[in-house]
Chain A
Amino acid sequence: AQTVTQSQPEMSVQEAETVTLSCTYDTSESNYYLFWYKQPPSRQMILVIRQEAYKQQNATENRFSVNFQKAAKSFSLKISDSQLGDTAMYFCAFDGDSNYQLIWGAGTKLIIKP
């Protein structure tokens, strides 16, 4: 069975620091997609970044980047120059086939302190 594990229930850093959220997954597939979503207190789930497994280059979106290690089945999210608005729940998700179902991690609560 495909699973996604986020081992950090909660993290807290100072504003402007860099923080890395971990995500590991288990699959026997070779082609798939990985996502990081952010859910702030407003409840809206927002797509932060997306990675295609067949691409070796790590995805980046402004201050957000990933470290994708396919062999290790690891997909961590790095947030540089963290801002107060980055405070949110962060969910890692995996999509491996065409059955429409994303596999979700349990989430990491990230708190950015002023």
Chain B
Amino acid sequence: ETGVTQTPRHLVMGMTNKKSLKCEQHLGHNAMYWYKQSAKKPLELMFVYSLEERVENNSVPSRFSPECPNSSHLFLHLHTLQPEDSALYLCASSQAWQGNNYGYTFGSGTRLTVV
């Protein structure tokens, strides 16, 4: 049990489909993140939510839509994706205190394949 749970573990979807990725943490953290990890590329931060408010959106295409209904849950809604969106999508959480930083706790990721 990692503390951050992501579902599904694998997802294959067509370009016209709509699907959602789910992330759940029960660590009491107040910040949650979506990252995209593609082969041979550094991790790309997509979205950050702090206290359920989106504080960071790194120029992500509108076909990715995040939702944070409460401090324990984070969703990534997907629609009309492109093949180049195929990647590992990682969720993370942290306790963002000013003056200290204990790093992130990650989930195991969702391997997304767009066909």
Q: Decide if A and B are genuine partners.
A: yes
**Chain A residues packing against B (C-beta within 8 Å):** 33, 35, 37, 42-47, 50, 91, 95, 98-102, 104-107
| In the bound complex, CA of A106 to CA of B40 (Å) | 7
CA–CA, A47 and B3, complex, Å: 13
Listed stretches B16-24, B70-78, B101-109; interface member: B101-109
In this complex, how many residues of chain B approach chain A with their Cβ under 8 Å: the count is 28
Query: Would you call A42 and B101 a contact (CB within 8 A)?
Result: no
CB–CB A104/B42 < 8 A? yes
Tell whether, in the assembled complex, residue B106 and residue A44 are in contact, meaning their CB atoms are under 8 Å apart: yes
Considering only CB atoms, which chain B residue lies closest to A9 in the complex? B40
A107 CB, nearest partner CB in chain B, Å: 8
Let me know if B59 is at the binding interface, CB within 8 A: no
Who on chain A is nearest to B111 by CB?
A43
- Chain A neighbourhood of B56, CB < 8 A: 99-101
How many Å from the CB of B21 to the closest CB on chain A?
A: 14
Bound complex: CA A47 to CA B88 (Å): 18
Compute how far the CA of A95 lies from the CA of B41 in the bound complex, rounded to whole angstroms: 19
Query: Smallest distance from the beta carbon of A30 to chain B beta carbons, Å?
Result: 14
B31: A residues at CB distance < 8 A: 100
Give the docked Cα–Cα distance between A43 and B107 (Å).
Answer: 9
A45 touches B98 (CB 8 A): no
Contact of A33 with B108 in the complex, beta carbons under 8 Å? no
Contact B103 A101 (CB under 8 A): no
